[in-house]
């Protein structure tokens, strides 16, 4: 159970730093986070956990909808989740759960709708991320924790395709991720600071470029994670991740009528134990209907099999 709880804690952090972003940036941001955590802790167990979590960064890098069929309603017509949060609790399918934490995110955009700054606050901690663009492509990213620079990421392109990003931590350690593209595939090869391969993420795509399957392999070719994705109206609504240790993680997502995510309902199962990780997103929009502030309510609790919500 120790390993399972540590995975849950890392996943919680993962969900806490997810927000709406433009230009498919979050994949690269979260990959950077995971690699730097490996830099910071050389223990084999932690490294295995972090490499396992890497598939999440590959799968759900951008949760915004690119569905042009979605009509833009007025601000007063935007839908939200059905659950009611009151007095630090939320009822999900007839069961009351405590709100574990509340995160507040503020987004600042440039005139092209690119996010240039994100400020995330939870409890007494603050994380800030700044982005620099050229021709509407991100070329530099700086992440601060409580106003202290923790790492900088540099992005390199060719013919509008991302080829490589390099991450430099505050301690001076540097690693890189290289990208390659094939017939309905995308591959990310992540390297440690000593030049050795940390892991390889392969995405299998459909005709429209949506990811149908993701596979993580480590340097010796061993497959550690496989995830399958399911869509509805071009929105990722469900993904099922199977790990080499037997754990199964099911991610379910709900959206508003703008195509923005308003709820996560995730189940982490290992053996006979199930854990619910749920997040509720209250979004305030600017005049361009871009998320200006997002309040995220986090729930984490053990759950009985018979109480797990059924999604199609």
DSSP for 236-293 reads: EEEEEEEETTS-EEEEEEEE-TTS-EEEEEEEEEETTEEEEEEEEEEEEE-TTS-EEE
* Proportion of the chain above pLDDT 90, given as a percent: 71
Instruction: For the chain, give the mean pLDDT.
Output: 81
DSSP secondary structure code for residue 75 in this structure: G
Query: What span, in angstroms and rounded, lies between the C-alpha atoms of 219 and 158?
Result: 26
164: its two tokens? 């490589």
pLDDT band at 72 (very low <50, low <70, confident <90, very high): low
State mean pLDDT over 129-141.
94
Could you tell me if residue 133 is inside a domain? yes
Query: What span, in angstroms and rounded, lies between the C-alpha atoms of 88 and 188?
Result: 41
Give this prediction's pTM.
0.80
pLDDT in tens, 190-236: 999 999 999 999 999 999 999 999 999 998 899 999 999 999 999 99
Note down the domain range covering 107.
Answer: 2-307
Could you tell me if residue 241 is inside a domain? yes
Counting runs of H as helices and runs of E as strands, what totals does the chain give?
Answer: 3, 19
Could you tell me if residue 131 is inside a domain? yes
Could you tell me if residue 201 is inside a domain? yes
pLDDT in tens, 257-286: 999 999 999 999 999 999 999 999 999 999
Q: Which residue has the higher pLDDT, 155 or 2?
A: 155
CA angle 60, 208, 162 (to 5 degrees): 60
Candidates 157, 292, 307; CA nearest to 165 is: 157
pLDDT in tens, 170-182: 999 999 999 999 9
Predicted pLDDT at 219: 87
Could you tell me if residue 45 is inside a domain? yes
Number of domains in the chain: 1
Predicted pLDDT at 70: 57
Query: What span, in angstroms and rounded, lies between the C-alpha atoms of 140 and 165?
Result: 9
pLDDT band at 30 (very low <50, low <70, confident <90, very high): very low
Could you tell me if residue 312 is inside a domain? no
Reply yes or no on whether the pLDDT at 66 is more than 90: no
Could you tell me if residue 227 is inside a domain? yes
Predicted pLDDT at 42: 36
């Amino acid at each position: 159970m120790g390993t399972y709880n540590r995975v849950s804690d890392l996943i919680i952090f993962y969900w806490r730093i997810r927000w709406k972003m433009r230009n498919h940036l979050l994949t690269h941001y979260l990959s950077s986070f995971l690699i730097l955590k490996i830099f910071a802790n050389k223990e084999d167990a932690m490294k295995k956990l972090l490499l396992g979590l890497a598939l999440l960064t590959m799968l759900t890098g951008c949760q915004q909808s690119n569905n042009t069929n979605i009509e833009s309603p007025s601000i007063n017509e935007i839908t939200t989740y059905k659950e009611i949060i009151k007095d630090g609790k939320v009822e999900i399918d007839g069961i009351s759960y405590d709100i574990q934490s509340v995160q507040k995110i503020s987004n600042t955009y440039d005139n092209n709708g690119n996010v240039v700054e994100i400020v995330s606050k939870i409890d007494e901690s603050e994380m800030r991320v700044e982005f620099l663009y050229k021709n509407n492509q991100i070329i530099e990213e700086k992440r601060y924790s409580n106003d202290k620079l923790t790492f900088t990421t540099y992005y390199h392109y060719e013919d509008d395709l991302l080829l490589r990003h390099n991450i430099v931590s505050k301690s001076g350690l540097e690693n890189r991720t290289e990208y390659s593209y094939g017939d309905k595939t995308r591959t990310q090869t992540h390297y440690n600071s000593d030049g050795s391969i940390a892991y390889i993420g392969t995405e299998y795509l459909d005709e429209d470029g949506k990811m149908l399957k993701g596979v993580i392999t480590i340097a010796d070719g061993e497959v550690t994670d496989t995830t399958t994705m399911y869509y509805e109206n071009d929105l990722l609504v469900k993904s099922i991740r199977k790990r080499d240790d037997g754990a199964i993680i099911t991610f379910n997502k709900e959206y508003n009528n703008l195509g923005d995510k308003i709820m996560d309902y995730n189940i982490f199962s290992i053996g006979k134990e199930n854990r619910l990780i749920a997040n509720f997103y209250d979004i305030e929009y600017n005049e361009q209907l871009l998320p200006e502030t997002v309040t995220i309510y986090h729930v984490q609790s053990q759950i009985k099999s018979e109480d797990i919500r059924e999604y199609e």
